[in-house]
Structure 1
Amino acid sequence: MNKVNFDQMGVKWISEERKAAVALITEYVNSSLSGDLKEEDHSPAYRQHITDAADRAWAASKFRLKDIFQLYHVLMLMETISLDALKLMIGNFRIPLTPKDQKRGRRGIMERFMRKYHSIHIRDQIKLDFSMAYGSVIHRVEAGEQPKEIGIDEDTALWIITCLLENQELEQAFFEKHFLYYAHINRMMLALYDQIEFDALMEKPSALSSGSLDMKRVMKQNEVLQNQIERKEQMMADLQNNIKKLQHVETQLKKEIDELYQDALAEIEGLKAQLAQMRENHQAEIEKLEAAFDDEREQLLAQIREVKYSKQERRPDLSGQIICVVGGNRERYYREIIERFNGKIRFVPEDKHAMLRPSIAGSDVVFYLTTLTSHSYYSAAMESCKEWGIPLIYVNGKGTSMFEKLLMEYAEKGAVQNGRSA
């Protein structure tokens, strides 16, 4: 890559602000083109640092970017068109040529033009002529079309925006889209400002020295850098397109992963629901089997008791006493046992806490099924029995055998004689 050194190009620096700005911008442009730019130098903050340096340099100058950029663009055009077309252009600008100017050819005509450039009439005529010549292109630039879409280079686009349209909004948009080229033009014009002694050109054009501007050399250098910048911008555009494609792929992958994750969650929830249902069905089946087993067991025990009592000469008699049974939910079995011994039952199921006190009240005895009753029943049952002086018997077991044994013991100990009648 060809690095630009404006000191080697014969620039005699008049302004330290311009020299410092050009040095900073040159370092940025050269580093960008060589790929040596640090990561932090890509940031908007560093770009603003470059822009501020250029703004300070122009603020310290009597004239602005558009003034010298206009001259530069016209001089480039003068170098490329035919000599006859050049004379016609000078005629349109109403600049008279001396025989000496015409004898010196293109160089003499261009120097005559530079001596007249300070005239506001000449600069207005330039803007008018080029505005007419570039009419359709100007409209497309103003509409926001990019240089490649129009078929012009960045140099021409920036010249139209800065010098013909003088549109700061479009200039800012160009700056954001083509910052590297924008930086290059600023450093080129700042260097050119001192190289041709632009202040003197605009104020004392007669002092212009012959050969003070080697336009062909400037054009060649600019062309080389433009090509490099264009390749760099194309690389950046390709990189941005690749990044967008990768971002699109990443977005799609994230979407697919999220969908798979949601599907997996839904499937897991479905399996959980199935498992819960299976457990519920299994528990229901176990309870059903346990109930059937208990029924058969109780029926068998009832048959055994019937045989046993049929052989006894005398069986216990509750004489109609009210027996309160607290706990469980098998009232039928306890009822059969109590009624077999000529008693009456008041049953308090394990889920009917409100029935506890009314059922205990008026009972002759309370049988408390400890393994089939929640702890919340215990205090209430004990306090109620104590309050009314009712015996409280604890039954430690789920089956009816223990209940029957304790009930017989209660009857045989004379509960009938000591208890209250129904």
Structure 2
Amino acid sequence: MIKKNSIKNNLISFKSKGLKGVIEPAADKSISHRALLFSSLALGKSKISNLLNSEDVLNMVKALKVLGIKITKNKNIYTVIGSGLTGFKIPNKHIDCGNSGTLARILIGAIGGSEIFVTLTGDSSLRKRPMNRVIKPLKKMGINFNSSNGLLPLIVHGNSEIMPIKYNSPISSAQVKTSILLAGLNARGTSEIIEPHTSRDHSENLLKYFGANIKYKSKISGKNKVLITGGNNLKCCNIDVPGDISSAAFIIVAASIIPGSNINIKNVGINYFRKGILEALEMMGAKIKVKNKFINNFNEPIADISVKYSKLKGITLGSRYSSRLIDEYPILAMAAATASGKSIFKGLSELRHKESDRFNGIIDGLVSCGIKVEAKNDDIIIYGKLDQVNGGVTIDCKYDHRVAMSFLILGGVSKKPIKVVGCKSISTSYPKFNSEVNSLGMNIKNDI
């Protein structure tokens, strides 16, 4: 277990002389959430190694225990005793999802097939984030809700007679897709989800591994369709969670923009629908090599990544990239700020609905650091130049872990230190961030 608030709230990042060394990033948060939840829906004992011990994931553990699932930990292995697709118990208290939209949205779908009612809530940030995107399709499947304006807190009324659905999602969202798929496990027939383009497919890969009757192709262009037929019990499985490319992205960008850097990152998941950050950085001229690639037992590609410092150039990324690196745009924006020339990132409306308004958080933070930035509808335009990163400012990250880590990395190249307020949020996804990046050569200190 992690120590509560092990990361101080106010941190200051000073200029770095270069990053060196070998590191394995935090375990994948998306896969950790799903491994726990799918194991709880299976029959029997599943074992999960290298689970991410972050606040978000530990809140999933707490939630499942409240629903009657037995979960134990021995060293680096979690054991989950699954109770089947309809085995959740009526909880004796509400479930607190903390800051995690993934936890809230995918748990709703999993709960839907059990004849129980559950109240879900979260912190002040999560209570502002939209839940209608999952409520709408799940209502069509026969699951009922009590909520105010489609926000948390909400009450889920499960139904043992789930109806299959054909749902054309207006957005490409792995959370929406997963919620429908989990409800569809209990449907009497086949449910079909169609999304504008393929969102990350960890759920599809894991559900197939657990024995679900699921069909998908994960197309790399055009509309994506996933079919799931209810009635198949899930089997227990053993899962080894790979490193999170979203967490590795901070280290990759740091090594790319800080002169003298040369690092190796081990055991990173490089799922096609998550590795847009690598492609974007390579287009900018980053010196990145992917080595020792293999496919694990639930069809996830994993590799080692080496990164050396390079002089980056500005690029234009169309909206088709947005779903493949939506979580990485804050740190990619730091790379663009240090690059030579103009970078244009298009179609970023979803950034406004994350843990904070990341769209404006990126812009306001970079402008305060001396970088020229423009917003045009849902596009961000960054006029990069390394010697214009002045720093000497305080960034309020609005309790957003990715914004916090991004500006701490930028402090590694700024003329003056960058102070970030709200850094306790980093514990939601990367509790060892400070110690690990400092071990490579970053210079991040507590603000006393």
TM-score (ref. length: structure 2): 0.22
Identify the structure with bigger relative contact order (alpha carbons < 8 Å, sequence gap 6+): 2
Larger Rg: 1
Q: TM-score, normalised by structure 1?
A: 0.23
Please state which structure has a larger fraction of its residues in strand: 2
